[in-house]
Chain A
Amino acid sequence: MRVLAAMSGGVDSAVAAARAVAAGHDVTGVHLALARNPQTYRTGARGCCTLEDSRDARRAADVIGIPFYVWDMADRFHEDVVDDFVAEYAAGRTPNPCLRCNEKIKFAAVLDRAVALGFDAVVTGHHARLGADGLLRRSVDLAKDQSYVLAVLTREQLDRSIFPLGDSTKAQVRAEAAERGLAVADKPDSHDICFIADGDTRGFLAGRLGEAPGDVVDASTGAVVGSHSGAYAYTVGQRRGLHLDRPAADGRPRYVLSITPKTNTVTVGPAEALDVSDVHAVRPVWTGGARPDAPVECEVQLRAHGDVVPATVALDGDRLHAELRRPVRGVAAGQAVVAYRPDPAGDVVLGSATITG
């Protein structure tokens, strides 16, 4: 097959591209330039988006022996990921930009362009399994598993995707990179959000949305117990950084229960008020077989690297409802609910949807 390897400059995508070559594909490497000004994005060798990363990706392509180009996706990335990120926080939700980038950039804008240019598929270094059966499964390396942020992909997108790393642990990937002479073998993992250079999400949002002082309100009494400089900076389930003026009557810690953009209010309350047993979500994607007519017994995960709980999942038009077997704390709107079917060969992604409440 003629395949396009998305190369971030990190070790995973470099090894993925090398494995695609070893598997006999005709591979072309592409680095996605996502920053409008590369200097403003995260610096240092920690992930994607910087000049160092572009250079690292190019060197890896040299070593692997494949053609290499840089594609300018900065405008698309800005509109579909960065602006969306800000808008979601402004609306009181908690977005996952990596998921959005997969959905809108890597497996949409990039994949579409690749197909138009005559490529058959896109190869990435995501840690997830996608076998001949077309099912997306968790990586063998559960600590590095990225199936949660890939579950948003549709059947059409998965059919044109190749994830060569799903059967390997991160340690194996690094060892292989070293064997192949790839200089990125020891490059630190990327984490945090690539377009927030210093990791200060709150500061980034304040810069975009401005200061918007408002009240922090106790859920049970309705009393104002503190103030904030922007409700968008809070996430459901958050405990730290509330700076409440008055302690709760019972002296127990309080958590963010909800964010109401309309009134610019952050509502706080005790931990147990965070317990959620019913999760409502929209825009479901179902790739683990035919879309079910009846409720499905499965497991759900409600945020990246979050706990997995047994649940009954039902689809109804553009909506998904998950009834959890045991309550989960801190379910944030804007995150994805991903349904898995437990499987010894790797838990299978059944589907996903965006949580509304």
Chain B
Amino acid sequence: MLDEALEAYVATAREVGNASSLHAAGRRARRRVEESRERVAAVLGARPSEVIFTGGGTESDNLAVKGIFWARRAARPDRRRVVSSAVEHHAVLDAVDWLAQHEGAEVGWLPVDAVGRLDPQTLRAELDAHADQVAVVTAMWANNEVGTVQPVAELAAVAAEHGVPFHTDAIQAVGQVPVDFGASGVAALTVTGHKLGGPTGVGALLLARDVPATPLLHGGGQERDIRSGTLDTAGIVAFAVAVETAVKGQQEYAARVAALRDDLIERVRQAVPEVIYNGDPTDRLPGNAHFSFPGCEGDALLLLLDAQGIACSTGSACSAGVAQPSHVLLAMGADDDRARSSLRFTVGHTSTQADIDALIAALPAAVDRARRAAALRTPR
């Protein structure tokens, strides 16, 4: 957590008061929440009334996808199609799947190209064919695995032309690339605290006033009646501080980590010439570098680099902890082996040139070993 966010959290948590109470302590808490709402709105190009505080990114994604689906289907029962890209985070992917399994939703999964980019023409073709039946379109602002930044404004414009609300999961994007809710034209946007130096378990859904959404949580009617639950005043205050700090520092931060990241990419390519660099080479998150190491298994490389004090990530793991081939890479046209040979390196706030030197020092031997280990594997 950022120092500023942590200090704001602790200072607020010391105060007593439920933001829904009418007495003085409650009013003070309420004021903190509303000031935070204004701060978040100001830096993200939204109106304060468009900020709905939630318990984090997964909740915001579920609220947007399910909530807008339910509300628009209730208004018109034949409107039960959900349109989503194939490279979404599981918080969206699984919410969409759930609607298909349990709510009779039809899903239009939109393919991406080899760098993971969703072409606005692909969305246009889908909406030209089905706009009347579509309840909601959801596509992420930037991909959490391969770092590709989507042409969100163009996509949102296509959706707007067809009169369909467009939700974007911008968890990876805020603080990394410029994000402006109003200017982008999206109807709903997910942001969460822990990805930008704020607390875990606090996030927001920015939701345009004219977009209907049925609540996931019913109760006290907080947050425009869309998200009930006693407000986590300290968490919200810290979240707002983190969002503001991240957005205000975005340009400088992006320039710094992109320079380090570019150096990392160049040197990884020199150290392991056969490496495949995944994702969009230009429209991508500044700190993201994603590679496939042919002939290796990503989880073997991770183990070897972890032992050298270098943290990196493979795709995702199932509930038992078994590494799965990334659905993102598979959607980009990679085969199972290439998907399993992939590894993400993230350059962030605390990264230094020395970290990249350490990675480059350890990488060739690790790749060599991982290759020998993979050679033992029985063919799938």
Q: Which residues of A contact B (CB under 8 A)?
A: 28, 31, 33, 38, 51, 54, 58, 67, 69-72, 74-76, 79, 109, 112-113, 116-118
Query: B183 on the interface (CB 8 Å rule)?
Result: no
- With A117-B304, A118-B369 given, is the CB distance from A38 to B320 under 8 Å? yes
CA A71 – CA B297 in complex, angstroms?
Answer: 11
CA A72 – CA B373 in complex, angstroms?
Answer: 13
User: Contact at B376–A109, with CB atoms within 8 Å?
Assistant: yes
Query: B360 on the interface (CB 8 Å rule)?
Result: no
User: Contact at A67–B307, with CB atoms within 8 Å?
Assistant: yes
CB proximity to A under 8 Å, residues B297-324: 299-300, 302-304, 306-307, 317-323
Query: B370 on the interface (CB 8 Å rule)?
Result: yes
Nearest CB of B to A4, in Å: 10
CA A33 – CA B319 in complex, angstroms?
Answer: 11
- With A33-B320, A38-B320, A79-B378 given, is the CB distance from A117 to B306 under 8 Å? no
User: Contact at B300–A67, with CB atoms within 8 Å?
Assistant: no
Query: B380 on the interface (CB 8 Å rule)?
Result: yes
Which of chain A's residues have a CB closer than 8 A to the CB of B370? 117
B324, closest chain A residue (CB): A72
User: Contact at A33–B321, with CB atoms within 8 Å?
Assistant: yes
Which of chain B's residues have a CB closer than 8 A to the CB of A116? 369, 372-373, 375-376
Which of chain A's residues have a CB closer than 8 A to the CB of B306? 67
Which of chain A's residues have a CB closer than 8 A to the CB of B304? 117-118
- With A75-B380, A76-B378, A118-B369 given, is the CB distance from A28 to B303 under 8 Å? yes
A-B contacts, 13 listed (Cβ < 8 Å)? A28-B303, A33-B321, A51-B319, A54-B321, A58-B321, A69-B299, A69-B321, A70-B320, A72-B323, A75-B380, A113-B373, A117-B303, A117-B304
Known: A70-B322, A116-B375. 19 other contacts (CB 8 A): A28-B307, A33-B321, A33-B322, A38-B318, A51-B320, A58-B321, A69-B302, A70-B321, A70-B323, A72-B323, A75-B378, A76-B378, A113-B300, A113-B377, A116-B372, A116-B373, A116-B376, A117-B304, A118-B304
CB proximity to A under 8 Å, residues B275-314: 299-300, 302-304, 306-307
Please report whether the interface of chain A is mostly helix, strand, loop or mixed according to DSSP: helix
B376, closest chain A residue (CB): A112
CA A71 – CA B376 in complex, angstroms?
Answer: 14
**What are the 3 closest A-B residue pairs judged by CB atoms, nearest first?**
A70-B321, A116-B373, A116-B372
A69, closest chain B residue (CB): B303
A51, closest chain B residue (CB): B320
CA A75 – CA B370 in complex, angstroms?
Answer: 19
Which of chain B's residues have a CB closer than 8 A to the CB of A67? 303, 306-307
User: Contact at B380–A70, with CB atoms within 8 Å?
Assistant: no
A52, closest chain B residue (CB): B320
CA A117 – CA B376 in complex, angstroms?
Answer: 11
A113, closest chain B residue (CB): B373
User: Contact at B322–A117, with CB atoms within 8 Å?
Assistant: no
Which of chain B's residues have a CB closer than 8 A to the CB of A54? 320-321
A38, closest chain B residue (CB): B320
Nearest CB of A to B311, in Å: 11
B321, closest chain A residue (CB): A70
CA A118 – CA B312 in complex, angstroms?
Answer: 19
Nearest CB of B to A243, in Å: 40
- With A51-B320, A69-B303, A72-B322 given, is the CB distance from A117 to B378 under 8 Å? no
B372, closest chain A residue (CB): A116
User: Contact at B317–A70, with CB atoms within 8 Å?
Assistant: yes
A26, closest chain B residue (CB): B307
A49, closest chain B residue (CB): B320
Per-position binary interface string of chain B over residues 354-377, scored 1 when its CB falls under 8 Å from any chain A CB and 0 otherwise = 000000000000000110110111
Nearest CB of B to A291, in Å: 27
Which of chain B's residues have a CB closer than 8 A to the CB of A70? 317, 320-323
Which of chain A's residues have a CB closer than 8 A to the CB of B380? 75
CA A31 – CA B378 in complex, angstroms?
Answer: 19
Nearest CB of A to B298, in Å: 12
CB proximity to A under 8 Å, residues B166-218: none
CA A69 – CA B320 in complex, angstroms?
Answer: 10
CA A118 – CA B375 in complex, angstroms?
Answer: 14
CA A70 – CA B320 in complex, angstroms?
Answer: 8
CA A28 – CA B304 in complex, angstroms?
Answer: 11
Nearest CB of A to B228, in Å: 32
Which of chain B's residues have a CB closer than 8 A to the CB of A31? 321
Per-position binary interface string of chain B over residues 87-120, scored 1 when its CB falls under 8 Å from any chain A CB and 0 otherwise = 0000000000000000000000000000000000
Which of B299, B302, B321 has the most chain A CB atoms inside 10 A of its CB?
B321
CA A54 – CA B319 in complex, angstroms?
Answer: 9
Which of chain A's residues have a CB closer than 8 A to the CB of B303? 28, 67, 69, 117
Which of chain B's residues have a CB closer than 8 A to the CB of A109? 376
CA A71 – CA B320 in complex, angstroms?
Answer: 10
CA A69 – CA B300 in complex, angstroms?
Answer: 10
CA A38 – CA B307 in complex, angstroms?
Answer: 28
Which of chain B's residues have a CB closer than 8 A to the CB of A75? 378, 380
A4, closest chain B residue (CB): B303
- With A75-B378, A75-B380 given, is the CB distance from A117 to B300 under 8 Å? yes
CA A243 – CA B372 in complex, angstroms?
Answer: 55
Which of chain A's residues have a CB closer than 8 A to the CB of B373? 113, 116-117
Nearest CB of A to B217, in Å: 27
Which of chain B's residues have a CB closer than 8 A to the CB of A117? 300, 303-304, 369-370, 373
Which of B303, B320, B323, B377 has the most chain A CB atoms inside 10 A of its CB?
B320
Which of B300, B302, B322, B376 has the most chain A CB atoms inside 10 A of its CB?
B322
B304, closest chain A residue (CB): A117
Nearest CB of B to A118, in Å: 6
CA A100 – CA B199 in complex, angstroms?
Answer: 49
